[in-house]
């Protein structure tokens, strides 16, 4: 799964790979910065129960999105409009719900997602 934007990643079950690092379940979360100006980090399931891993993704607001106020060149660095995958995971949320990240692609077979706005 690839995500665009900034988010906190918490591994609940299984082992995932992120940018070559293997991350195991823990109480610690990891802040990930994935601007469109760079290669996007891919979250892959390495091992888990029935070959699945479970992670929680949480929006973070650290002010970097305000770069768009400096120049129009920074308009789409962090995340664009909600994608089809975002609409599925935002089901039931208010119409103006916005995350600090967007799902670029996902695989339901390898990763269960819990996303919080």
Poorest-pLDDT segment among 19-23, 30-34, 104-108? 104-108
**pTM of the shown model:** 0.72
E strand residue ranges, 1-117: 2-13, 15-18, 21-23, 29-34, 43-47, 53-59, 101-105, 111-116
Q: Per the structure block, which two tokens stand in for 44?
A: 């892959």
Type and span of the H or E element at 18: strand 15-18
Read off the pLDDT of residues 62-106 as tens digits, 9 standing for 90 and up: 777 777 788 877 777 776 566 666 666 666 666 556 677 877 765
Question: 83, 63 in Cβ contact below 8 A?
Answer: no
């Amino acid at each position: 799964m690839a995500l665009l934007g900034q988010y906190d990643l918490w591994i609940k079950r299984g082992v995932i790979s992120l940018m070559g690092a293997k991350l195991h379940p823990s109480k610690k979360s990891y802040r990930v910065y994935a601007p469109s100006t760079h290669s996007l980090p891919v979250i892959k399931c390495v091992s888990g129960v029935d070959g699945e891993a479970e992670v929680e993704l949480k929006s973070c607001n650290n002010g970097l999105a305000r770069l768009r106020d400096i120049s129009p060149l920074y308009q789409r660095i962090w995340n664009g409009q909600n994608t089809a995958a975002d609409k599925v995971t935002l089901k039931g949320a208010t119409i103006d719900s916005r995350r600090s990240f967007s799902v670029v692609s996902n695989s339901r077979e390898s990763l269960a997602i819990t996303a919080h706005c």
